[in-house]
Every structure is written in structure tokens, then in C-alpha cells.
């Protein structure tokens, strides 16, 4: 096989190796932020982990901040891929909640370092990273609200109320994520799944009784 004919997976050796080093830097940073927080992580630590000299870092990123932003992007790219798949899978009306929660929690467990990074840096010391994570989450909530708008029974719901509802659900899933990450790496997450599932079912139970109106108070409480 001639060295110059490039097939699918085969990049120019030079460019390919550079790409590999770049990815190695990203992977090393992700591995290392399991302990330190991101802004306590030094450029030298990352290059040491990869096995290159500190100055070589600048061949790939302008700064640690730039690397961090790429990590945020990587994290959400994989998450978005999953959510898209979940959405396309249509709604099997029953078991929807159970399946969704199980899928999501399984995904968190399989991508632990990414979620650890996102949860931590959501409040972290680097402003640009923080705000990028938050805007991704906000986008997420909006997309879920749009999905709900298409449900039968959502006719009377105001936009704000749809956002309120999906905000509540995303909040519950974020809580579940926190709890999964608190568990030891390979632990059984059944308790977390069961609780999160109940929370979603409880929320859904309320929706038929909600009167979405500009701002009139409800007198619905039954007990």
C-alpha cells in the first residue's frame, strides 16, 4: 500500500499525529479534573500527563481556557446525540418515563468524567466556561419545552408554563446526575433511577390538573 494514497480512516501522517496529541491533551485534562477543579489544573500537569514538554501545548491550544471550552463542546455534543436518538425513537406512551430515566442515567454513568466536568464547571472559576455550560442547559430546557408543546393536552399551556415544566424536569434530572456522580464509579444506580422516575411521574400526574393562565391563582388543591 502506497503511503500517499489516502483512504477513509487514513489522514496525512503528520496531521494525524497532531490530531492525536490534541485529543490526548483533551483526554488528559478530562482525566485530571476528576480530582482538581478545572481552574486549579495547570497547563504543566496536562502536558506532563500526556508526556510532552509544556511549551508544546501551544501548538494545539492558545490557553487552558480554550481547551476547557472545547471540553464543554465535546460533552454536550455527545449528550445532544443521545437526546436526538431518544426523541426520534417516538413515544411508546407507556414506560416512556422509565425508559427515558434509565437511558439517561446509564449515559451519565458511561460518560462520568464529562458529566463530572460539566456539573463542577457550571459553577467553576472560569467565567467563559461557566456561561457556555449554562447557555447549553438553557437551550436544552427550551427544546424540551418545544417537545411538550406538541403533546396533546398542551393546547392551553402558555410558553412560560411549558418552560416552567421543562425546567422542573431538567432540574430533577440534574439532581439525579449529581447523585449518580456521588456514587462510587461502578455502583448500582437503581435507587437514583427509581427516585428520579417517581419524581417525573409525580410531575406528569399534575399536568392534567394545571390551568395555564396569565397569572390567575389556582384553587385546585384537593386535600
Residue 53 binding partner per list a second copy, DNA, none, with a CB distance cut-off of 5 to 8 Å that depends on partner kind:
DNA
Residue 160 binding partner per list DNA, a second copy, none, with a CB distance cut-off of 5 to 8 Å that depends on partner kind:
a second copy
Q: Residues near 3 by Cβ (< 8 Å), separated by ≥ 6?
A: 13
* Binds a second copy (CB under 8 A): choice among 51, 54, 89, 125: 125
Residue 174 binding partner per list DNA, a second copy, none, with a CB distance cut-off of 5 to 8 Å that depends on partner kind:
a second copy
In three-state secondary structure terms, 158 is coil
Q: Residues near 70 by Cβ (< 8 Å), separated by ≥ 6?
A: 26, 61
Assess 91 for contact with a second copy (CB under 8 A): no
* Binds a second copy (CB under 8 A): choice among 210, 213, 214, 216: 210
* Binds a second copy (CB under 8 A): choice among 39, 49, 74, 143: 39
Query: Which is nearer to DNA, 48 or 130 (by Cβ)?
Result: 48
The string of DSSP letters for 43-90 reads: HHHHHHHHTS-GGGGGGT-SSHHHHHHHHHHHHHHHHHHHHHHHHHT-
Q: Residues near 119 by Cβ (< 8 Å), separated by ≥ 6?
A: 174, 177, 178, 181
Residue 221 binding partner per list DNA, a second copy, none, with a CB distance cut-off of 5 to 8 Å that depends on partner kind:
a second copy
**How far does the chain reach from its first CA to its final CA, in angstroms?**
78
* Binds a second copy (CB under 8 A): choice among 152, 184, 185, 214: 152
Selection from 113, 94, 112, 105 nearest residue 191 by Cα: 105
Enumerate binding residues for a second copy (CB under 8 A). Answer: 35-37, 39-40, 119-120, 122-125, 134, 151-153, 160-161, 163-165, 167-168, 171-172, 174-175, 182, 194-195, 198-199, 201-210, 215, 218, 220-223
Amino acid at each position: 500500500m502506497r503511503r500517499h494514497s489516502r483512504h477513509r480512516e487514513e489522514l496525512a501522517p503528520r496531521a494525524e499525529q497532531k490530531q492525536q496529541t490534541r485529543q490526548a491533551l483533551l483526554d488528559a485534562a478530562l482525566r485530571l479534573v476528576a480530582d482538581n477543579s478545572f481552574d486549579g489544573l495547570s497547563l504543566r500537569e496536562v502536558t506532563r500527563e500526556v508526556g510532552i514538554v509544556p511549551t508544546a501545548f501551544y501548538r494545539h491550544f492558545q490557553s487552558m481556557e480554550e481547551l476547557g471550552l472545547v471540553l464543554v463542546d465535546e460533552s454536550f455534543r455527545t449528550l445532544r446525540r443521545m437526546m436526538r436518538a431518544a426523541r426520534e425513537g417516538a413515544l411508546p406512551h407507556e414506560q416512556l418515563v422509565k425508559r427515558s430515566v434509565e437511558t439517561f442515567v446509564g449515559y451519565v454513568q458511561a460518560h462520568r468524567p464529562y458529566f463530572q466536568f460539566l456539573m463542577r464547571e457550571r459553577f467553576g472559576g472560569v467565567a467563559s466556561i461557566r456561561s457556555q455550560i449554562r447557555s447549553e442547559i438553557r437551550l436544552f430546557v427550551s427544546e424540551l419545552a418545544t417537545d411538550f408543546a406538541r403533546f396533546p393536552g398542551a393546547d392551553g399551556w402558555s410558553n412560560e408554563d411549558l418552560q416552567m415544566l421543562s425546567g422542573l424536569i431538567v432540574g430533577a434530572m440534574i439532581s439525579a446526575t449529581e447523585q449518580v456522580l456521588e456514587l462510587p464509579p461502578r455502583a448500582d444506580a437503581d435507587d437514583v433511577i427509581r427516585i428520579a422516575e417517581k419524581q417525573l411521574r409525580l410531575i406528569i400526574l399534575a399536568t392534567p390538573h394545571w390551568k395555564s393562565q396569565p397569572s390567575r391563582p389556582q384553587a385546585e388543591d384537593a386535600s
